[in-house]
Structure 1
Amino acid sequence: MTRRSKFQIYLTIVTFSTGFLVATSIETTKLMRTEKMNNQLFQQETQLTDRILSEKEQNRHLENQLIDLQRQVGKVEEAMAARKEEAADILGQLEAARMQAGVVAVEGPGIVVTMQDSQHASTSADITNYIVHEHDVRLVVNELRAAGAEAISINGQRLVSNSSIRCVGPTIIVNGIKSAAPFVVSAIGDPGTLEGALSLPGGVLQSLQDFVQIDVAKHATVQLPAFVGDAKSKHS
């Protein structure tokens, strides 16, 4: 083998070795880079997982807070509803008491009973039997109260618990105010019930219609004034 041939063989070996080392170095570098990238990705995934777990824990904590606040709001709403219902009940009782006391003007469905002296009394009859007396008016008022009338007035005078109905000659005095026939008794309540109570067989209308003129009319709205006077004083 000549020297030239040996040199070529050595050169080939050196070139191959160098190429192998370079290729190995490149591959090693790639592997190291890949491993580094994998480590970075692993660290990022770990950090992301930890962050997700932390967010979930925080969300769970916030959800518990929200549930607790919703419970508190529910209790407050229940308390407010109970107080509102209680206030409405008290207000209703107050309005009912004010209506019964007659201190406020009221209106509502009801009936109007008009009573006046009879025009058909014979000349031989006792004329006093054919004029309206306080006991006739009182009979109508008592029947209306028994039938559930919420408020009653006579000729614009509101009746209260201590109101009296007195007769002085051909006039009637209610709450100290004198008025003459016709006597108009207005009552608030269920119109059908009130009219039915007066129209019972043997009842008020039947017992009075032969002596005085009496008319009953149902109304969708009846207006009654407030009581004017001293509710503490008893009219005799």
Structure 2
Amino acid sequence: MDKRNARILRILAIVAIGLNLFILASQIKFGDLGGGTELALAKTFANGLIGDLQELARTLDVAEKSSVKQSLAKLHYDVYLVSNQAELAEIMQNSASKTRDLIISEYAHLNAEKVLAVINGDQEVQYARSQIILTVGPLPTGGYDVQLPNILRESTLDQLKEIENLFSKEALQEFYEPYRHLSTFKVLIENGVAQLVSQNQEQDTIKYIEGEIEILRADYAKINKTAGFAEISGPGVKISVYDQVFSVSAGDLRRIVGELYSSGAAAIAINGQRLAVNSYIVDSEQGIIVDGVIIRSNPVVLQAIGDTTTLVAGVDLLFSVSLKEMLSFDIENRENIVLPAKAIQ
């Protein structure tokens, strides 16, 4: 093991053990360890851990990152101001842990830039015009993997497996599970260019996708109702068609149905049989068949949901011109009609 990785291993081990000790800090009697007040000894111990975090940042070449410098400075200041061991334990358990994670995340970001360079060299990425999001994660023995599905070529995936990560050295692989998520990131491919997705941008993308899903669900429900495969209710009309000079035929019903749809009907049923996009109305020796079901006639009852004024006007026009003196009818306005979903055949 080289000195750099040995140092990283030692620091990570010290920090992990130290932070775990501080979980029970409110119960520890530091005065029993000899000399000085309990709080003073606890602060000395805490500052030692902060020093280890600074060493970790220097070893991983992220000590000059503004976010790391600010986090370490705030941690020092918070420890200086603390007035009791319980507060100190909370600071070390929360703020120190976040600082450690930030240092590792910044290191992962450095490697992410190398990952981006490889991905941007992939011709499939350069030709991509639709928006694609990839999830890139570290492998337990070094290198990076891209979750499926992805558009990357095998040669690109092989190159990614050669990029160093925190776990490239055997001594650091025991930290894979606790730190894997810190080295996992999203890559957005858009207009032939790959770029890192920030946490805020990722949240915005998720919200956008969720919004699109809700729109699709609403459209699906609307299409389902229009197509006849979902229950629908609303104001409409009830039409009873009677034999007069001629008996009611399938052709007559098709003309009435066509007129109702032309007049804005959102849904129609014949003798309780809901019509859908794949419905058919035909004559047979047994009588009129609607979607395989023989319906009784004289009268044939149609229900249509829609604007009652427009529907009545359309039906009146049809029976006063095309069906004049051939058939008779009654039409009633209804405040609410409920038409069940068409059973999918």
TM-score of the aligned structures, taking structure 2 as reference length: 0.38
Classify the secondary structure of the residue corresponding to 1:180.
Answer: coil
CA contact (8 A) 1:154 1:184 kept: yes
Deviations 1:39-63 (A, max 9, x none): xxxxxxxxxxxxxxxxxxxxxxxxx
Q: Larger C-alpha radius of gyration, 1 or 2?
A: 1
Deviations 1:109-137 (A, max 9, x none): 1111111212xxxxxxxxxx421111111
CA–CA distance in structure 1, aligned partners of residues 333 and 239 of structure 2: 9
1:208 aligns with 2:326: no
**Unmatched segments (≥5 aa) in structure 1:** 1-74, 119-128, 231-236
CA–CA distance in structure 2, aligned partners of residues 139 and 168 of structure 1: 18
1:197 aligns with 2:328: no
What is aligned with 2:294? 178
Write the mapping of 1:5-84 to structure 2, written as runs, cut at 5 A: none
Q: Please point out which of 238, 249, 253 is paired with 1:137.
A: 253
1:161 aligns with 2:277: yes
Classify the secondary structure of the residue corresponding to 1:207.
Answer: coil
What is aligned with 1:70? none
- Shift, 1:87, TM fit: 4.8
- Shift, 1:170, TM fit: 6.8
Deviations 1:5-27 (A, max 9, x none): xxxxxxxxxxxxxxxxxxxxxxx
Classify the secondary structure of the residue corresponding to 1:162.
Answer: coil
What is aligned with 1:108? 234
Higher relative contact order by CA 8 Å / sep ≥ 6: 1 or 2? 1
What is the percent sequence identity of the aligned residues? 31
**Unmatched segments (≥5 aa) in structure 2:** 1-200
Q: Please point out which of 68, 86, 91 is paired with 2:217.
A: 91
Worse overlay, 179-188 or 79-88: 79-88
CA–CA distance in structure 2, aligned partners of residues 169 and 113 of structure 1: 25
Deviations 1:167-187 (A, max 9, x none): 124721001000121211111
CA contact (8 A) 1:139 1:204 kept: no
Query: Which amino acid in the other structure matches residue 341 of structure 2?
Result: A
CA contact (8 A) 1:199 1:205 kept: yes
- C-alpha root-mean-square deviation of aligned residues, in Å? 2.9
Flag the 1:176–1:198 CA change in 2: closer, same or farther, 3 A: same
CA contact (8 A) 2:229 2:344 kept: no
Residue correspondences, number: 148
- Shift, 1:79, TM fit: 8.1
What is aligned with 1:11? none
TM-score of the aligned structures, taking structure 1 as reference length: 0.54
